[in-house]
Structure 1
């Protein structure tokens, strides 16, 4: 059992409030996932720059030394055991080489818009650790995990990001993820964990790398992914929701002129501005929903 949330802003006057609303939604999912939590926030792009979210697994991360090794043209901001690095596109490969040589460092996400943070612990503590309430942006997704099938680790926490500005949170379980992982490896996709949710994220990234639109990638997932699942997926342009043909996992969508929101339970949505006037519905099985700019 896990809790998943998503918030997409149509009205950009709400951008300064995105993190605060997402934190409230995430914390309300604590009972569905007290073991770990994570979130991804999409901001406005900075011309010529790539965002890298870098995680350190060292007991005492030395981000000051990392900053010196990355060079003066890379700006880093610390968030707990993560840093956000703003990297000139021309220096990206050099920076990736430096990070790859460090055994305790992991690139959690990359893209023009996304930054992603996850850790073990209660959702409220994770959100506070990374300063979620102060973050601004256009949209975001989040996850709280109850680890029923594997250990409580940072690698097991969601979201999973396997492509530029792409990430996914998942409630459910896939039955064919091992076979699909082998197939995707042959296509050049890389995996860090044995988590089935990473396979789902990689599958959608691979589809979109092949030229599928966001909607087409979600549609193809219905044919290729077996099991029970609800996905909330973030891209640089928007976010989407997909449920399997049985749809045994709970899901609620709400929409106003100002925003679209998703939650595993209705209580997640109750503090959003204008919820009393929102259209609220349960997303249908086998039906991709997505909103993009």
Structure 2
């Protein structure tokens, strides 16, 4: 039993409020997932730049880390520290060199996401505490997804926390359980994908990454999961330009959505949406089983 939330802003005047709205939604889901929490926010980005979301052990000297990366690959590197995470802003063509420098000189630091606009943060603890540690309420953007975890199948660790990202600007949160994820993982590893955890949700993210890399649209890639991934699940997915939702054909996990002229919101329960602005006039509905819902940001 976990809690998942998502918010896609249609009215750009609301983008400064994205983080504050997500905080409210995540905190309400605390009793569905008190062990850990995480979220991805899609903010501003430039096509010639890349953001790497890094997680480090407590007490890491992030200024020294940034200085070491500049010495290794060049001075055109920026960084913003948020608690145990740091967002490294680099020229797009230097990703491989930066990753190599991290692996060689800083093996304790994990890259949890990469993309033009996406930033990912996740930690062990109550969702409200995690949101405050990373100052989620101050973040702006066009869309974001979040997860509160109740670790019923594995240890309570940050590695097990969602979102999972296995491709550029693409991430996933998941409520449910997949029964054939180990078999799918083996197939994807043969296709060249790497996995950092044994979590079934990371396999789902990897499957979508694999299909997107083959040129499929997100809607088609999500539809493909219905034929490949066995189990019960609700997926909420973020990409550089969009936000998608899919439930399995049985749809036994709870899910509710709300749409207004200003936003689209998803929650495991309606109470996650109850404090959103304009909710009284929203179209509130339960997403249909085995049906892809997708909204995309205008260029």
Q: Partner residue of 2:227?
A: 223
Report the secondary structure of 1:118's partner residue.
strand
TM-score when normalising by structure 1: 0.98
| CA distance 1:236–1:99, change in 2 (3 Å) | same
Match of 2:207 in 1: 203
Q: State the 1:92 CA deviation.
A: 2.1
Cα distance in structure 2, aligned partners of 1:39 and 1:59: 19
Gaps of 5+ in 1: none
What CA distance in whole angstroms lies between the structure 1 residues aligned with 2:283 and 2:210?
33
Q: Distance in 1 between matches of 2:230 and 2:93?
A: 40
Secondary structure at the residue paired with 1:150? coil
Name the CA distance, whole Å, in 2 between partners of 1:33 and 1:175.
Answer: 21
CA distance in 1, matches of 2:291, 2:100: 41
Runs of 4+ deviating beyond 3 Å = none
1:77 equivalent in alignment to 2:83:
no
Partner Cα separation in structure 2 for residue 254 and residue 207 of structure 1? 28
Match of 2:160 in 1: 156
Task: Structure 2 unaligned segments of length 5 or more: list them.
Answer: none
Root-mean-square deviation (Å): 0.8
Pairing 1:95-106 to 2, within 5 Å after superposition = 95-101=98-104, 102-106=106-110
Q: Report what 2:169 is aligned to.
A: 165
Give the CA deviation at 1:48.
1.6
Aligned ranges 1:36-47 → 2 under 5 Å: 36-47=36-47
Q: Distance in 1 between matches of 2:284 and 2:257?
A: 6
Partner SS state of residue 145, structure 2: strand
Q: How does 1:223-262 map to 2 (within 5 A)?
A: 223-262=227-266
Number of aligned residue pairs: 292
SS of corresponding position for 1:137: coil
TM-fit CA distance, 1:63: 1.1
Aligned twin of 2:63: 64
| Deviation for aligned residue 1:60 | 2.0
Structure 2 Cα separation of the partners of residues 46 and 224 of structure 1: 35
Aligned partners of 2:267 and 2:273 also within 8 Å: yes
8 Å CA contact 2:58–2:84 kept in 1: the answer is: no
C-alpha displacement of 1:47? 4.4
TM-score, normalization: structure 2?
Answer: 0.96
Map of 1:125 onto structure 2: 129
Deviates more, 1:5-14 or 1:81-90: 81-90
Cα displacement (A) at 1:59 = 4.0
Query: Structure 2: how far apart are the matches of 1:120 and 1:283?
Result: 30
Task: Determine the structure 1 residue equivalent to 2:49.
Answer: 49
Paired residue for 1:92?
95
**Aligned position for 2:3:** 3
